[in-house]
Structure formats: C-alpha cells, structure tokens
Amino acid sequence: MATETNLQDYELMVIFTPVLAEDDFKTAQKKYTDIIKDNGGRIVNEDAWGLRSLAYPIAKKTTGLYVVIEFQATSDVNAKLEVQMNRDENIMRHMITRLDKFAVAYNGRKRSKTLTAENA
C-alpha cells in the first residue's frame, strides 16, 4: 500500500469511442478509477465532459466521449493503467500527465469557482 509521502499528482484524459451507450461509458470510467484505487491511489476529481468534437478524425470518427480524472498515486500505477488502456478497444486516445504544485492549485481553484457558480 502506498504511503501519503510518495504519492504523485496526475491527470488522466481518455477519449472513448462515441458509439458507447451511456451505461457503457460510465462502466468504462469506473474501470479506470477502480484500477487507481485498487493500487493504492486516490481519486481527487472526476469530470466526464461527454461527447465533444475532435480536432482531427481518429479512425474515421469526428467525435469522442471525453473523461478527465485527477488522481494521486505512485508512478507504478501509470504502467498498469497504460497496459489496460492499450488493450481497451473502446479507447481512441489517452494521456497521463504529471501535475506540478501549480497545476494542482489551479485545478483546485477552478473546481471551487465551478462549485460557487453552481450554488449561486
């Protein structure tokens, strides 16, 4: 089990194929959050953007289902995520980014602005 001191901050962006049903999309999201949690990680924030246009066609598709997961985990969790995502036929693209303290602070401010705007 990972200790708090060696956890790093990461952001995972996944673009799923647009032909997924809503339930399949949620199940796919849960699969990757479960991998993070099962390996000692912690989910900080999960944001499903839903269907968005792509900047360029991927496999003749012009849209994709986006999800962004901000999490804390050890670096070995990323390798496990990569293996699973590369095997998943429903994923068109994915990217894991390590966040520095400034990115973590920015994401926290952005979330708090969104929450206050929703409560207003």
Stronger pLDDT, 100 or 114, i.e. the higher one = 100
Contact 57, 104 (CB under 8 A): no
Q: Is the dihedral of CA 80, 9, 49, 24 positive or negative?
A: positive
Please state, rounded to an integer, the average pLDDT across all residues of the chain. 89
Domain around 75 = 4-119
**84: domain CATH number?**
3.30.70.60
Residues 50-102 have pLDDT tens digits of 999 999 999 999 999 999 999 999 989 999 999 999 999 999 999 999 999 89
State both tokens at 56. 């360029």
Total domains, the chain = 1
